[in-house]
Structure 1
Amino acid sequence: MPSTGPRSLKQPSVVRCRHPRSRRHRPSKYQSKRSVLQPIHIVRGTLNSSTEIIPIADEKSTNTSQYNSIRQEIPRSAQLSPFQPKTSSILHARKIADRKIHVDPLYFNSDLHSHVSSCNGSYAEKRDLLATVPASISSSTSTATVSSTTTTTATICNSSCVNQTWLSSSDLLAKWTFNGTFLDETATYSAMPVNSPSFISSGYVYQSLSLSAASSQFIYSPYIPLLNSSFTIEVWLYPTGYPNSIDHSILGLCTYPGSDYCLHITIRESNITHIHSLYMSFFGDTCETSVSVPLNTWTHAAFVFDINILEMSIYLDGYLIGAAISAIPLQGTTNPVTIGYIPGIVTTYGSNYYQGYMDQLTIVSRVKSECEILDDASLVTYYTFDNSPVYDDSGPNSLTSTYLATSFALAGHSGKAISFNDSTAYLQISGLTALGTNNKAFSISLWIRPYALSGTLVFVSSSPSGTGWCISMLGFAVNGSIVAQILSSSAESVFGPAVPVSSTWHHIVQIWSSTNGLQLYIDNVLVASRPSVITYSASSASNYVRLANRPNNACLYGGIGLQNAYSGEIDDFKIYSRELSKDDVCALYRS
């Protein structure tokens, strides 16, 4: 069964090189003033406020009194570290054919699941590449009650990609969901199949395209305007084999192989490291990464070209893994776009049919930001409950839902909310592949306003009926405290305090990763954690998430008990397929 794989990929440091390019190859309007071959190492720092609220909680002490007294003000003097060049060389570069510089990284970072990658390009710009594009840093206030005395302390959220806004469909050129059809959602670039490619039911989002290299299968669409233009191309990949000697093609727009006239996006085997990694080239100017694309795992890939700075960028699972500068934009004629095979590179690189599955292939005629790409890769579902009379997913995957005996509350935490006031009431979301993956990090965020301190908030199962693999992940203990749990060898739980039944909304975040274990935040405070819970035994299937009810008492319930229905309201429900940072939680809380 396809899965997203047990990885928690962090943003790599990016090493750039600058290299002179012969002026005779570059039109005057693209001339660069840079002409020195120079390795550049970027050193990150952390921006802290003069005061920072530090929550203290662990698996040994998580009682209510601690929650009420947990906030304390601690002066901080650390500032953003300036960029400093590394004193010793961390790469060596040598010129090779096809107007490229080959960059060999010499250091290994085990946190990345592979070594830090570099791109081959005619030259590369020095650029500030932090973990994400920083969001605006602003402040809000949070209130805690201690012995009937209310204290208000300023809270600073450092940079975070959550809660930034963009219109994901802006400048959309084409989108293929591959849900049993080759039709493009814009009805403009519907694809034609060659040699009978098919679909599988276990895609990343419902169905996906299945391509066999042995059967020479691929699809193609009419010309899409990528010439002399900015673009972002995103796709979910699940390769099942690497039968070719060099390339396994993802997408191409090729006039002829040379002089920036042939866009070819592939998974390429390096002739140096012999790993299979993401590759993007105009055939002349090239970006080749060094992070392995694993077999039999769903991986998100994004390829960006910015015509304003002539930069190619490649992202893996939402994180930038390499960039390079092209002399000129993509040139050529209005040929068809091919998916899964590129005929124009066969004479140079040989057979290049893709082997495996593809899903959610999207092309837009603009440069997506790093934060938007991270959301596309890791925001699994997002229900705002603002679009009455329908419940729809505002996230990138448009997951569908069913519901029973629910209503809209006009005064939600933000806009409207969903209300549950019946023992049979629920809302169930389908198609959560990442949440069904063993040891895959996840985060669940929601706002609640309970009418009573009992019931299940979030129930997860491998079947729509709630049978099979199933567990209550968030809910209330019999004493009214908040419980978060996962399935390891058994149900592993952490217990927070009870929140008051009142008109006040409360923010709940459950986080799990193999690095930091199980964590529970309430109202921007880490109230409980168990770092020792480092295994998540998932369903290995596309999961269903049910809000406010548990249909099957035969399922694991752990510390939540056998209560069924939650009575109250829920707003801004989100699931991420990554571990949120404390700054992410802070940004969600002050939203």
Structure 2
Amino acid sequence: MKYENGQLISNTNLSLIDISIIETRNECICHCYINESCVSLVYIGSNRTCWLYASQIPMTNLQLAPVALNSVVITLPNRITTITTSTSSTITSTVATTAYCESTCVNTIISTLSRVVFYSFNGNMLDNVGNYSLNLYFLGSTPNYVPGWIGSAINFIYSDQQFLFTKHIPLDSRSFTIDFWFYATNLTYTNDYSIAGEWQASAYDECLFFNIRGNVLYMGFFYDDISGITTILTNQWYHATFVYDSTIKTQFIYLNGVLENSGKVYSDFLGTTGSFTIGGAHLGGLAPTYEYYPGYIDHFQISYRVKTPCEIYLNAILFCYFSFNLPSLLNDSGPNYLNAINSNGISTTGRMNEGIQFSSSSLSYVNISGVNVLNSSTNPFTISMWIKPLNVSGGGTVLHTSTQSSGEGNCFVLWGFTSTGEFSVNFISTSNSITSIKIPNSFQINQWTHIIHVFDPSNGNYLYINGNLMFNATLSTRQAFGSFVFLGASPMDANSCLSGSISTGQFNGVIDEFYVFSQALTSADICRLTNP
């Protein structure tokens, strides 16, 4: 039960557990969830007070608050207590819970449904779907490839008038979504920089273009145009999404997964001829024949459907997601399709469907390559994973990062267990100074535990265990970890890696639902990942 802007008339016969000052209602909810005795909560936003109760709150004890208190009353009716007996006959209490979490996008899915074009730009101009591979036009040098958001990206030089083109892609009289990563290197040449487009004529709704105009995103059909609102800066990666919904005749612009603007149009795009171009486009009207784009473009795709806001958001913030579900044990279900190699891990029952088990019988781990978001000292990130230790005697590595595929080079052991079985996380500064956080008695053998590590350049590092904030370290910058991630063990010969208090070696247990996000998740997102 959730009762917005409610307040207690009486707390008679209610078992009060705790009163505390909590910043947000989500933190109050998590505060209740991690307290095994908590069944109900009252949060008063106006004075940031969180009240926890060990009993359900009857409706007769509630009323609508006469003034706006920004309050909520929540009862978890499915929270029940059962009694189990251990092998030593000690009576212990276990709690089954259904926690209340706000609706978020983090546990929704990304789909390639109706995708007609995908250019990864990993050293070539091929269409990975297969129908619209690109050709090159240039007056000066040819575009080259540079390190991209994922893998490599194509780099356009404005003064050399470079662009790519393919045959006509039918975008007329239909809905579509076009999304990609871009990194502008210079925005001082002119007012218009054309990232992509398709031109039939300089006439109403026959010239399609996707631009940076006046340093904001811009899309148009020729006189049916809309613009974004956020100023685009140079030398910074952005994710852009342009959507047209034919059923409601509306254009949408998203930047980094967030809606910038939308606008009604009079007509669908009507162009039935003309090449589709990337890196430059025909604007028509009084503009020059072509406007060009200076910078990088990566992972460019076109879909014949309107992607949902959640899917657009995840395309921008989710770097990789490995569910370890069969039949594709190492399939990355995120938008970037990262590669992974399994060394002796075994599929087994997971927290959600299947997971992957590692054991000390032979060195076993999963190696994920291309997690570039970790390879910068300023990029925010969130790492989320379920683990079930089967034996922590002697320690073991859960999460290892490196600049080399061998696990060596600049390498760090971020998560693992100490020689005495305590879980430890290493926060590493740019000077390689390690802050090791040990969490004693937080992991029960043969039980699932959820871990989230958040880095935010504005606020530092945060560690959550089962949705509960355990520690934060105020580090505005961090060490670049490298783009190779090892789950389950530190590779052989990686003995020189910084490990803090973690005893490196084989983790004996199961891992499931591994996520990396390219931003610091909100408390609502964290609650949702902890309570799938």
Same fold, judged at TM 0.5 (above): yes
Partner of 2:179: 234
Counterpart code for 1:54: H
Counterpart code for 1:331: L
Q: Secondary structure at the match of 1:297?
A: coil
1:417 aligns with 2:355: yes
Partner of 1:250: 195
Partner of 2:484: 544
TM-score (norm 2): 0.80
Partner of 1:446: 385
Q: 1:76 aligns with which of 43, 54, 58?
A: 43
Shift of residue 361 of structure 1?
Answer: 0.2
Residues 262 and 344 of structure 1 are in contact (CA less than 8 Å); yes or no, is this contact kept in structure 2? yes
Q: Which has the larger radius of gyration?
A: 2
- 1:197-228 Cα deviation digits (max 9, x unpaired): 44425122112222222222111111112112
Partner of 1:564: 505
Q: What's the RMSD between the two structures over aligned residues?
A: 3.0
Q: Secondary structure at the match of 1:228?
A: coil
Counterpart code for 2:183: Y
Distance in 2 (alpha carbons) for counterparts of 1:343 and 1:356: 18
Q: 2:307 aligns with which of 353, 356, 368?
A: 368
Counterpart code for 2:486: R
From the superposition, tell whether residues 238 and 147 of structure 1 become closer, same or farther in structure 2 (CA, over 3 Å).
farther
Residues 255 and 344 of structure 1 are in contact (CA less than 8 Å); yes or no, is this contact kept in structure 2? no
How many residues get paired? Answer: 466
Counterpart code for 1:267: I
Shift of residue 477 of structure 1?
Answer: 2.9
Partner of 2:457: 514
TM-score (norm 1): 0.73
Counterpart code for 1:214: S
From the superposition, tell whether residues 388 and 351 of structure 1 become closer, same or farther in structure 2 (CA, over 3 Å).
closer
Distance in 1 (alpha carbons) for counterparts of 2:378 and 2:77: 34
Distance in 2 (alpha carbons) for counterparts of 1:294 and 1:139: 49
From the superposition, tell whether residues 203 and 54 of structure 1 become closer, same or farther in structure 2 (CA, over 3 Å).
same
Counterpart code for 1:512: F
Residues 82 and 94 of structure 2 are in contact (CA less than 8 Å); yes or no, is this contact kept in structure 1? yes
> Mean alpha-carbon deviation: is it higher for 514-523 or for 368-377?
514-523
Partner of 1:173: 116
From the superposition, tell whether residues 498 and 201 of structure 1 become closer, same or farther in structure 2 (CA, over 3 Å).
farther
Residues 140 and 156 of structure 1 are in contact (CA less than 8 Å); yes or no, is this contact kept in structure 2? no
1:194 aligns with 2:137: yes
Partner of 2:408: 467
Matches within 5 A, 1:69-148: 74-76=41-43, 148=92
Shift of residue 234 of structure 1?
Answer: 0.5
- 1:497-527 Cα deviation digits (max 9, x unpaired): 4344443222111111123322222222222
Residues 244 and 351 of structure 1 are in contact (CA less than 8 Å); yes or no, is this contact kept in structure 2? no
Residues 460 and 543 of structure 1 are in contact (CA less than 8 Å); yes or no, is this contact kept in structure 2? yes
Q: Secondary structure at the match of 2:280?
A: coil
Q: 1:394 aligns with which of 304, 308, 333?
A: 333
Matches within 5 A, 1:522-537: 522-530=465-473, 532-537=474-479
Structure 2 stretches of 5 or more lacking a match?
1-22, 47-75, 84-89
Residues 36 and 95 of structure 2 are in contact (CA less than 8 Å); yes or no, is this contact kept in structure 1? no
Partner of 1:11: none
Shift of residue 78 of structure 1?
Answer: 6.0
Shift of residue 475 of structure 1?
Answer: 1.4
Partner of 1:160: 104
Q: 1:265 aligns with which of 194, 210, 215?
A: 210
- 1:136-184 Cα deviation digits (max 9, x unpaired): xx99759899994445555200121111135x11111111111122111
Higher relative contact order (CA 8 A, sep 6+): 1
From the superposition, tell whether residues 143 and 230 of structure 1 become closer, same or farther in structure 2 (CA, over 3 Å).
farther
From the superposition, tell whether residues 242 and 474 of structure 1 become closer, same or farther in structure 2 (CA, over 3 Å).
same
Distance in 2 (alpha carbons) for counterparts of 1:184 and 1:457: 37
Residues 81 and 93 of structure 2 are in contact (CA less than 8 Å); yes or no, is this contact kept in structure 1? no
Distance in 2 (alpha carbons) for counterparts of 1:389 and 1:258: 49
Partner of 2:426: 485
From the superposition, tell whether residues 53 and 389 of structure 1 become closer, same or farther in structure 2 (CA, over 3 Å).
closer
Which structure: greater strand fraction? 2
Distance in 2 (alpha carbons) for counterparts of 1:179 and 1:436: 18
Residues 283 and 291 of structure 2 are in contact (CA less than 8 Å); yes or no, is this contact kept in structure 1? no
Q: Secondary structure at the match of 2:292?
A: coil
From the superposition, tell whether residues 144 and 581 of structure 1 become closer, same or farther in structure 2 (CA, over 3 Å).
farther
Counterpart code for 2:230: V
Q: 2:31 aligns with which of 54, 63, 68?
A: 54
Distance in 2 (alpha carbons) for counterparts of 1:175 and 1:324: 26
Shift of residue 468 of structure 1?
Answer: 2.9
Distance in 2 (alpha carbons) for counterparts of 1:417 and 1:150: 23
Residues 139 and 157 of structure 1 are in contact (CA less than 8 Å); yes or no, is this contact kept in structure 2? no
Counterpart code for 1:418: I
Partner of 2:276: 337
Distance in 2 (alpha carbons) for counterparts of 1:509 and 1:139: 27
- 1:309-354 Cα deviation digits (max 9, x unpaired): 2221111111112222222221223221111111343842565211
- 1:92-138 Cα deviation digits (max 9, x unpaired): xxxxxxxxxxxxxxxxxxxxxxxxxxxxxxxxxxxxxxxxxxxxxx9
Distance in 2 (alpha carbons) for counterparts of 1:494 and 1:387: 34
Shift of residue 245 of structure 1?
Answer: 1.0
Q: 2:367 aligns with which of 421, 428, 438?
A: 428
Q: Secondary structure at the match of 2:284?
A: helix
Distance in 1 (alpha carbons) for counterparts of 2:225 and 2:389: 55
Distance in 1 (alpha carbons) for counterparts of 2:467 and 2:81: 11
Residues 411 and 498 of structure 2 are in contact (CA less than 8 Å); yes or no, is this contact kept in structure 1? yes
The percent identity for this pair of structures is 31
Distance in 2 (alpha carbons) for counterparts of 1:435 and 1:143: 41
From the superposition, tell whether residues 572 and 182 of structure 1 become closer, same or farther in structure 2 (CA, over 3 Å).
same
Counterpart code for 2:265: S
Residues 511 and 519 of structure 1 are in contact (CA less than 8 Å); yes or no, is this contact kept in structure 2? yes
From the superposition, tell whether residues 237 and 466 of structure 1 become closer, same or farther in structure 2 (CA, over 3 Å).
same
Shift of residue 549 of structure 1?
Answer: 1.5
